Amino acid sequence: MTTQTTRKYLRERFMPHIWCAGCGHGTVLNALIRAFEALGMSRNEIVMVSGIGCSSRITGYVDVHTLHTLHGRALAFATGVKLSKPELNVIVPMGDGDALAIGGNHFIHAARRNIALTALVMNNRIYGMTGGQYSPLSGYGISATTAPYTSIDPDFDVVALSMAAGATFVARTTTYHVNEMFDFFQKAILHEGFAVVEVLTQCPTYFGRKNKMGNAADMLTYYKENTVALGARSEKEHPHMIKRGIFIQEEKPEYCSQYDKVMERAQKGRP
Amino acid sequence: MGSIELIGVTDGILSNDAGKAMIMPTNVRFIQGNEACVEGALYAGLKFFAGYPITPSTEIAEHLAVQLPRRGGKFIQMEDEIASMCAIIGASLTGRKVLTATSGPGFSLMQEALGYAVMAEIPCVIVNVQRGGPSTGLPTHISQGDVNQARWGTHGDHAIIALTASNHQDVFAMTVEAFNMAETYRTPVVLLFDEVVGHMRERLVLPEPGQHPLVERLKTSVREGVDYHPYLPREDGRLPMSDFGGVHRYNVTGLYHDMWGFPSDNPKVVHGLIRHLVDKIEDHVGSIARYKTYFLEDASTVLVSYGATARSALHVVESQRRKGQKFGLFELQTLWPFPYEIVGEACGHAKQVVVVEMNMGHVYREVQKALGYADHVFLANRIDGVFITPTDIRQTLRLITGKGV
Amino acid sequence: MARARLKELCINRQWCKGCGICIAFCPKHVLELDASDKVIAVRTQDCTACAMCALRCPDMAITVEKEEKKSGKRDPL
């Protein structure tokens, strides 16, 4: 038996990838393509739609139908793909600024519709591609090139925001917890509705360096020591730790199947 | 919503004011210009619409919300115009003919994704029913102030196709043409209508199926397992497509890209792509040009106009002709790429050329260019949201001929 | 129960960027960086084939091949 990242879904000619040494985004890619393999997905049935930023480059490395779009707009493009051809599996990897600053409105509306897209928020709390500016997920007291005296902006809680907006599958994990990430990705892909997986992913180059978090391994250690699994005994002992797990997983009418009903009604007669 | 259906003459019977039934041919409609656009889009094979309500284009969305699900098509009201434009691009990649409709403020929001569609060569049609601008401007009043925005609204060098029409039969025809050109040239096409044409009701005779030729998506004949190049033009310049979900997996990006669709900043690739994006349209100005001419053969005064404004211009031309004056009208239907040569030839012998439009001279400047900046080109415009009348045009004519108001 | 043992550990030196994540979290300290800042396996005899290095590797540069060793009696035919 071999444990390696499957090459089947990888566009190997573009490797090694463009991300920095120790960037967590590579680990997300690693888990994602293993999830595709574990689910036995055909490459022709998957569309990956990304926006702009470090995170969005993930689509280039996956041998499926890939749509590298505009900053913040991935979910809007993906909504068009999915509603037009609901039989496709549409995966939407996004960065934190991409998903929740410039793309925040698209994010909450995609969640509200409960359209079956798999939204991955690769949260490294920084704009990496442009060189280390603070994002709406950086949080208070963070150093960034645009917050030289530290950030005074509070951050969003991606999980709470997604649930409030109507997402029917919401999970959070980290790049340290790779088996959990692999598991959540599969569950999110299988979910019939809008699924969000927030992955805390390290940016040693900008976030780590600016905030004296050490190297990539040190940042993973931080995830290990400062997060707690939902339902774990230690959860109550450490109420301030970041919670990991599946926060909601429920069946609600999915948008494309609801639209099928609209078509049925329309074809029966006048509105 | 209920009022929409009242106009449909699907059963061939309408009742008049007295409640007495009148028999009308089933292919004749008395409808708004926005509905004529909807009819044209459905005739062309529209299968996906995404939009956001905005005056004076909203009727397009309302009618398609009724019609598309009946015909197995998809309609979605998005959270804004940015998302609408993005959604139709996504849907186009799955192989559908797609449309969005908006007006000035929404058209401004769409510019980013419009540029994406140019760069990634995605067939799509965008209707802008123009109203007064800038900003929120005059939502319920006419303007033609977005002509240059259609050309230059998105950043970076590029070519664009923009069509317009002055009456409902032409709105229908130009809408069909817009879909045909979008497929032929793998490009977004802008339909620049205006509030008067959009909201005015007049007769539309629905063409029979097959009467207007339709261009369908050119699909690749490359078989599964054989290398498919989504961005390698054929000898005739066209690029066959492969639907998302099909057997060819490729990349689509707004970055400069190679023939597989993967990002590249190789100067040769960048130069080749921008030349291709411009040339594929600018080299076909003649085939893309749509226009109408009235009494041009011996005209010494030529009015150049387009959209609703051309109706007033035509009225002036016809009434001047009745008085024995040699007036003619050149009605533009293709605004971009601007048919400089055709306009230059049509107006070459005129003593005076008067551009009639409802803006500060968008087309006026192009006509000047076409005529080598001659000093006999004038602008007759109105920019106060009130539709330009034949009287307004005559007033300008009196001024430029030295007769005073 | 089968207990996994390492058969082979491959490192793709073209893909490895030497970030050190695999080294930091290897429970048996099997891995090290070499002079050119690429990962090498120096104590393969200690490897338990847990493969967490392969799963965490952001560069997808590590392959762990396991040997399944059966415990208990062979199944009768």
| CATH at C26 | 3.30.70.20
Parent domain of B394? 293-400
Strand pairing category for B74-77 and A46-50: unpaired
Alpha-carbon gap, residue B368 to A119, rounded angstroms: 52
Domain endpoint, select from B205, B225, B242 = B205
Q: Determine the residue of chain A that is closest to C54 in CA distance.
A: A4
Domains and CATH numbers, chain A: 13-268 (3.40.50.970)
The answer to the question of residue B104 being in a domain is: yes
Q: Is residue C26 part of a domain?
A: yes
Q: Is the pLDDT of residue C5 over 90?
A: no
- The pLDDT tens digits of the residues spanning C8-37 come to 999 999 999 999 999 999 999 999 999 999
In a domain, C55, yes or no: yes
Q: Is residue B232 part of a domain?
A: no
| Closest approach of C44 to chain A, Cα-based (Å) | 16
- pLDDT value at position B294? 98
If you average pLDDT over every residue of chain B, what do you get?
A: 94
Is pLDDT of A232 > 50? yes
Burial class (CB in 10 A: 0-12, 13-18, 19+), B17: exposed
**Considering the entire predicted model, what is its pTM?**
0.94
The sign of the dihedral angle between the CA atoms of B74, B79, B82, B83 is negative
Q: Which of A18, A44, A57, A77 to mutate to test the interface with B (most CBs of B within 10 A)?
A: A77
Task: Report CA Rg, chain A.
Answer: 18
Residue B259 forms part of a structural domain? no
Q: Which residues of B318-337 are buried (b: 16+ CB within 10 A; e: fewer)?
A: eebeeeeebbbbbbbbbbbb
Q: What tokens appear for B373 in the block?
A: 């900046």
Q: Is residue B288 part of a domain?
A: no
Residue B201 forms beta bridges with which residues? B32
Q: CB of C15 within 8 Å of any CB in chain A?
A: yes
Q: Does A204 touch chain C (CB under 8 A)?
A: yes
> Closest by alpha carbon to A99, among A22, A183, A24, A199?
A199
**Within this chain, do residues B9 and B135 fall inside the same structural domain, yes or no?**
yes
Question: How high is the pLDDT of residue B13?
Answer: 47
In a shared domain, residues B303 and B191: no
Q: Which residues of A touch B86 (CB under 8 A)?
A: 69-70, 73, 76-77, 79-80
What three-state secondary structure class fits C18? Answer: coil
Show which of B144, B173, B205 is a domain's final residue: B205
DSSP string, A41-109: --GGGEEEEE-SSTGGGGGGGBSSEEEE--TT-HHHHHHHHHHH-TTSEEEEEEEHHHHHTTTHHHHHH
The answer to whether A4 contacts C54, with C-beta atoms less than 8 Å apart, is yes
Q: Flag if A105 and B74 touch (Cβ within 8 Å).
A: no
Q: Do C55 and A179 touch (CB under 8 A)?
A: yes
Put simply, whether A25 touches C (Cβ < 8 Å) is yes
- What is the rounded end-to-end Cα distance, in angstroms, of chain B? 47
Name subunits touching B (3+ CB pairs < 8 A). A
Of B5, B91, B249, the CB nearest to A84: B91
Give chains near C: 3+ CB pairs under 8 A. A
Which residue of chain C is at minimal alpha-carbon distance from A204? C19
In a domain, B182, yes or no: yes
Q: Nearest-CA residue of chain A relative to C11?
A: A4
Can you give the pLDDT at residue B6? Answer: 38
Q: A182 contacts in C (CB within 8 Å)?
A: 55
> Do B68 and B185 reside in the same domain of the chain?
yes
Please check whether residue B273 touches A, CB under 8 A. no
| Whether A12 contacts chain C with CB within 8 A | no
Tokens of A243: 């919670």
Residues sharing a CB contact under 8 Å with residue B88, sequence separation 6 or more, in sequence order: A80, B48, B49, B50, B98, B99, B100, B124
Residue at C75 is within a domain: no
Length of chain B: 405
Distance CA A265, CA B360 (A): 48
Rounded Cα distance, B94 and A198, in Å: 28
| Nearest CA-CA distance, residue A244 and chain B, Å | 30
Contacts of A221 in chain C (CB under 8 A): 24
Which residues of chain B neighbour A80 with C-beta distances below 8 Å?
48, 50, 76, 86-92, 98
Answer yes or no: are the C-beta atoms of A120 and A28 closer than 8 Å. yes
Q: What pLDDT sits at residue B9?
A: 40
Would you call C27 exposed, middle or buried from its count of C-beta atoms within 10 A (0-12, 13-18, 19+)?
exposed
Q: Which of B205, B222, B248 is the last residue of a domain?
A: B205
- Give residue-wise pLDDT tens across range C39-63: 999 999 999 999 999 999 999 999 9
Q: What is the span of the domain harbouring residue C57?
A: 2-70
- C35 within a domain of the structure (yes/no): yes
3-state secondary structure of B392: helix
B38 in the same domain as B139:
yes
Domain count, chain B: 2
CATH number of B383's domain: 3.40.50.920
The residues, any chain, with a CB within 8 Å of residue A109's CB and separated by 6 or more, are: A75, A165, B78, B79, B83
Q: Does A10 touch chain B (CB under 8 A)?
A: no
The answer to the question of residue B229 being in a domain is no
Reported ipTM:
0.97
Does the CB of C59 have a partner CB in chain A at under 8 Å? Answer: yes
Q: What is the CATH number of the domain that holds B122?
A: 3.40.50.970
Mean pLDDT of the residues in chain A: 96
CB contact under 8 A, B247 and A266: no
Same domain, B45 and B176: yes
Question: In the Cβ-directed half-sphere of B128, how many Cα atoms lie within 13 Å?
Answer: 33
Q: Which residue has the tokens 């190789």?
A: B266
Q: Is residue C77 part of a domain?
A: no
Q: Are B59 and B51 in contact (CB under 8 A)?
A: no
The encoded tokens of residue B217 equal: 């998506």
CB contact under 8 A, C65 and A24: no
- The number of folded domains in chain C is 1
**CA–CA gap between residue B227 and residue A86 (Å, rounded):** 27
Q: From the CA of A105, how many Å to the nearest CA of chain B?
A: 8
Query: How far is Cα B188 from Cα B129, in angstroms, rounded to an integer?
Result: 16
CA atoms of C27 and B16, how far apart (whole Å): 88
Least confident of A206-210, A229-233, B162-166: A229-233
Q: Is A208 on the interface with C (CB under 8 A)?
A: no
Contact between residue A93 and residue A122 where contact means Cβ atoms under 8 Å apart: yes
Residues 6+ apart with CB under 8 A from C36: none
pLDDT by 10s per residue, chain B, length 405: 333 343 434 444 444 555 555 666 789 999 999 999 999 999 999 999 999 999 999 999 999 999 999 999 999 999 999 999 999 999 999 999 999 999 999 999 999 999 999 999 999 999 999 999 999 999 999 999 999 999 999 999 999 999 999 999 999 999 999 999 999 999 999 999 999 999 999 999 999 999 999 999 999 999 999 999 999 998 888 999 999 999 999 999 999 999 999 999 999 999 999 999 999 999 999 999 999 999 999 999 999 999 999 999 999 999 999 999 999 999 999 999 999 999 999 999 999 999 999 999 999 999 999 999 999 999 999 999 999 999 999 999 999 999 998
Of B112, B109, B162, B103, the C-alpha closest to B137 is: B103
